[in-house]
């Protein structure tokens, strides 16, 4: 059996701290929620191609990652990549209010149940409904105040840009 010297004992404390930080990052930094997409029989007067469906879902999930980063860091500019219009404006207002109050909100989505419900005839918007589960942490001046598991229903309208779909409308609905 090896006897630990005082010097070796001191090294364990920083190592344990680093391990606990990494474990927290792994739990809160996972970018892979479970995603289920309802089969898209009919979504309006326009046929939805599989490639379009895949791109819409991919870009919508990326918007959740942007939303999480923007609210967690109180940086509205992080919304620019994935949000436009009223969705971007409302989220930026929320970030401004959080900043004034000295709070941050961290979101970690764990499950999405997505249903594409309408594809406009001209192809300029797609509406989806998402029953999402996520964990939310509220920090006040960097001190954790609350953690909550949430199940909510969101309605989103996405619009195409040159290279991706962006969220234009994003609102929670009562379940």
**Cα–Cα distance for residue pair 109/99, rounded to 1 Å:** 22
Would you write out the chain's pLDDT as a tens digit for each of its 175 residues? 445 455 444 443 433 333 333 333 334 445 689 999 998 777 888 888 999 999 999 999 999 999 999 999 999 999 999 999 999 999 999 999 999 999 999 999 999 999 999 999 999 999 999 999 999 999 999 899 999 999 999 999 999 999 999 999 999 986 6
The β-bridge partners of 37 are: 114
User: Phi/psi class of residue 68: alpha, beta or left (left: φ > 0; alpha: ψ in -120 to 50)?
Assistant: alpha
Residue 17 neighbours by CB distance under 10 Å:
10
Of 64, 59, 56, residue with least CA distance to 120: 56
pTM (predicted TM-score): 0.80
All structural domains of the chain with their residue ranges: 1-30, 31-173
- State the pLDDT at residue 15: 34
- State the pLDDT at residue 25: 37
**Cα–Cα distance for residue pair 147/136, rounded to 1 Å:** 6
- State the pLDDT at residue 132: 97
Helix (H) or strand (E) holding 116: strand 103-119
| CATH number attached to the domain at 31-173 | 3.10.450.240
């Amino acid at each position: 059996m090896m006897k630990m010297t005082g010097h070796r004992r001191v090294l364990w404390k920083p190592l344990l701290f680093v391990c606990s930080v990494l474990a927290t990052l792994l739990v809160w930094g996972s970018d892979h929620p479970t995603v289920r997409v309802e089969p898209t029989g009919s979504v309006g007067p326009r046929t939805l191609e599989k490639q379009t469906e895949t791109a819409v879902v991919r870009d919508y999930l990326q918007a959740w990652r942007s939303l999480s980063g923007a609210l967690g860091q109180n940086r509205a500019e992080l919304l620019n990549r994935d949000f436009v219009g009223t969705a971007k404006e409302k989220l930026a207002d929320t970030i401004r209010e959080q900043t004034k109050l000295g709070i941050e909100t961290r979101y970690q989505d764990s499950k999405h149940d997505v249903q594409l419900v309408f594809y406009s005839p001209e192809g300029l918007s797609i509406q989806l409904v998402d029953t999402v589960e996520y964990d939310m942490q509220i920090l006040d001046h960097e001190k954790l105040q609350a953690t909550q598991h949430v199940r909510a229903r969101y309605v989103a309208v996405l619009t195409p840009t040159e290279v991706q779909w962006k969220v234009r409308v994003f609102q929670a609905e009562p379940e």
